[in-house]
Chain A
Amino acid sequence: MSQLALKSLSKSYGAFKVFDGLNLDAGSGEIVVIFGGSGTGKTILLRLIAGVEEPTAGTIELDGHDVSDIAPEHRNVGMAFQNFALFPHMSAAENIATPLKAQGKSADAVRAGIDRVAKLLKIDHVLGHAPRELSNGQKQRTALARALAAEPRILLLDDPLRNVDAKLRFEMRLELPRLLRQSGATVLYVTQDYKEAMALADRIAVLADGKFVQVATPEDIYLKPATLGVARLFGDPAINTAKTVIEMKNGMASAKVGGRDIPLPASLAAAAGRGITFGVRPEAVNILSPGSDGLTASVVAVTPLNERTVLLLQSPDGWEFLASLPASSTSIPEPETDVVVDFDPSGTHFFDSQSDERLHG
């Protein structure tokens, strides 16, 4: 039995439809990341599950029970907000104590609860401070501590690392999985950062245009994206794309990309004549030794990107695409030179140019 289930969940504000008919099942202790850009309704979804807003249609089930008639204070849910939402007129300790006090716990139990989560999140030394005296990182940890304090079965985290600086965000990304597993709660984690999503999730639910476009493990999302949109959202630099057509050459299916014929998987032969979007991930663009058989392209610019180096390449017919090499590679081409490339099949995808759906190879 799933811990959390969304059944045909819909929400509209007047004529404006936020999402329509969402379905999701989260198992006990699972970490599900809701991934999507801004304005896709992720925060509203969390509010519906918490109970502070009502759905237009559909049901939410916690532990198999329909919670539509249950007020937020009785749903036993913990929530951490993007802007922390700490109570400004209470100290950090009092903030964290709130869910424990609401459960009517004794003063000793409350104290013990505060100490437990404060130690876990390493904020035991600032418990007496008011929120305005805390740094952003400490505020975020206090907000998380408050959400975890009463050991809720469901944890809702609304982009908690959004308003935190890059260095701290990276640290928390390494720490959070352990923290969340330790709590044992079923977690719904909202983010716009694909690296965060891949790092934390057991499964990722990609929300776009009011629907879950794909719900799968990070591996499947990255290696088998359901649509072009999903492929573009995961990966930095984003996947290279080119619009082309399936042709038949010598009985084999192929497509022209960058002026060169790329062999296509045999299963696509039946779709000859169909317009497709060719996609290849930058890290799947291989730089071959000069004179090899491949696509010749000129290097427009070389831009380092942390542990990788990104090359902006241009094929003779004007197709611009990016290649991403490990920064520690021995030979990085110079701008204004030519290179020969080919594409690794594991990083190559084909999408229907009308529906943007991935065509299975």
Chain B
Amino acid sequence: MDFNHSESYYHPLSNIARVFRWLRSSTLSALILVLLAVHLVASPAVHSQSIRDEILRLFKRCVHLHREGVDVAPVVATLRKALEAFDQGQYRKASMLVQNASAELNRLEREAPRIVMEKRVRFSITIASLIAIPIVFYFLFPYVYLWIWLRVRRKWVVER
């Protein structure tokens, strides 16, 4: 009989060692479980507060951008949805919406000078066009009227 074979060899102390190993692993597992539980319990509160703070921060940026003349209505609508999701306890959805709003706001802030300039140019063109209407009417209306008058009567035949 070969007592030194690794599979059949038995030492009385090996049980104690196994118990210690088990205890060590179970203590570690318990510790990990406790830590996880603490994390699960504590993190929504911490996370939710950060979402709320982020919504407020983004809202302030929206207002400043709006005052510059940029249309922030879509971002504000997304923030409202995020706040609604937050109030319903859907923190993951709220967080995702906040990220979307943040990305959109970053883009708008980058493009703000161009958007504001475009808006001003469009507004100026609208005002100038409105002011020009009476002048254009004064000079062009007789020609337009005569052109229409002639087109309407182009099939007319002049008889002697």
Asked if A pairs with B, the answer is: no
